[in-house]
């Protein structure tokens, strides 16, 4: 599913990633763990095409992302990659259903089909009854579940999650972690998760330890 090979990245004179090889199979949950500043989020942003490596290749779902022009890359990212962050980044003026639909609309999916898919996901994630509520009317756990539905609406090849439970209480964090396992089991969904949460790391099929820009 994902082959990142020989990845180097520096910001100015500061090297962050130092020749990293990272591979993920379809239907796998992989946790990236390590101290702050080790390079976990930088790697996630590079494999998610939000940033470019100084050197190295990223092949995602059979596509060499470096070969894509800017518009092609944006369309590829929207179609093949789902993102879940520590803060949900839902648009406050839109309802839960509308927020989930947005990536599908960008992909030019028709409204009826987008809303049907979004509602299916909200039902699967247990928040369909909140479909017409805006983010400010939702609890933290509900907001993050809506954000997961948004990440899944385009049937992405891979979901990249950066500290997805970092802003949740322990009960909601545990529920979110179990949700990832359920989505892997039921949908064969692939996840790469950056986390400091030991519980979340331990549900993964594989834990990758990163230290000083290298995989230990």
CATH of the domain at 174: 3.40.50.300
Q: What is the mean pLDDT of residues 82-87?
A: 80
Q: Are 158 and 124 in contact, with CB atoms under 8 Å apart?
A: no
Q: What is the mean pLDDT of residues 40-46?
A: 89
Q: What is the span of the domain harbouring residue 144?
A: 2-215
Task: Determine which of 25-29, 65-69, 157-161, 191-195 has the lowest per-residue pLDDT on average.
Answer: 65-69
Quote the pTM value.
Answer: 0.85
* Sheet of strand 55-60: strand arrangement: 14-24, 2-11, 55-60, 63-64
pLDDT at 59: 93
Rounded CA separation 36/38 (Å):
6
Q: What is the mean pLDDT of residues 194-210?
A: 86
Residue position matching structure tokens 């004179």:
13
Residue position matching structure tokens 């591979």:
23
pLDDT at 7 > cutoff 90: yes
pLDDT at 190 > cutoff 80: yes
pLDDT at 192: 92
Of all residues in the chain, what percent are helix, strand and coil, respectively (each to 5)? Answer: 40, 25, 30
How many domains does the chain divide into?
Answer: 1
pLDDT at 86 > cutoff 80: no
Q: How confident is the model at residue 30 (pLDDT cuts 50, 70, 90)?
A: very high
pLDDT at 17 > cutoff 80: yes
pLDDT at 8: 93
The average confidence (pLDDT) of the chain is: 87
pLDDT at 39 > cutoff 90: no
pLDDT at 178: 84
pLDDT at 24 > cutoff 90: yes
pLDDT at 75: 85
């Amino acid at each position: 599913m994902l082959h990142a090979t020989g990845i180097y990245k520096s910001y100015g004179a500061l090297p962050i990633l130092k020749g990293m090889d990272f591979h993920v199979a379809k239907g796998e949950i992989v946790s990236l763990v390590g101290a702050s500043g080790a390079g976990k989020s930088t790697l996630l942003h590079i494999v998610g095409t939000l940033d470019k490596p100084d050197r190295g290749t990223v092949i995602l779902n059979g596509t060499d992302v470096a070969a894509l022009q800017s518009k092609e890359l944006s369309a590829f990212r929207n179609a093949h990659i789902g993102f879940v962050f520590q803060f949900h980044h839902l648009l406050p003026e839109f309802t839960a259903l509308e927020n989930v639909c947005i990536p599908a609309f960008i992909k030019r999916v028709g409204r009826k089909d987008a809303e049907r898919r979004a509602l299916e996901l909200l039902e699967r994630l247990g928040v369909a009854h909140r479909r017409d509520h805006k983010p400010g009317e939702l609890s933290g756990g509900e907001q993050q579940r809506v954000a997961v539905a948004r990440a899944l609406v385009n049937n992405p090849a891979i979901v990249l999650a950066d500290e997805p439970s970092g802003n949740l209480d322990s009960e909601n964090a545990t529920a979110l972690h179990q949700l990832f396992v359920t989505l892997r089991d039921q949908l064969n969904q692939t996840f790469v998760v950056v986390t400091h949460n030991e519980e979340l790391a331990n549900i993964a099929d594989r834990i990758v330890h990163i230290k000083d820009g290298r995989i230990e």
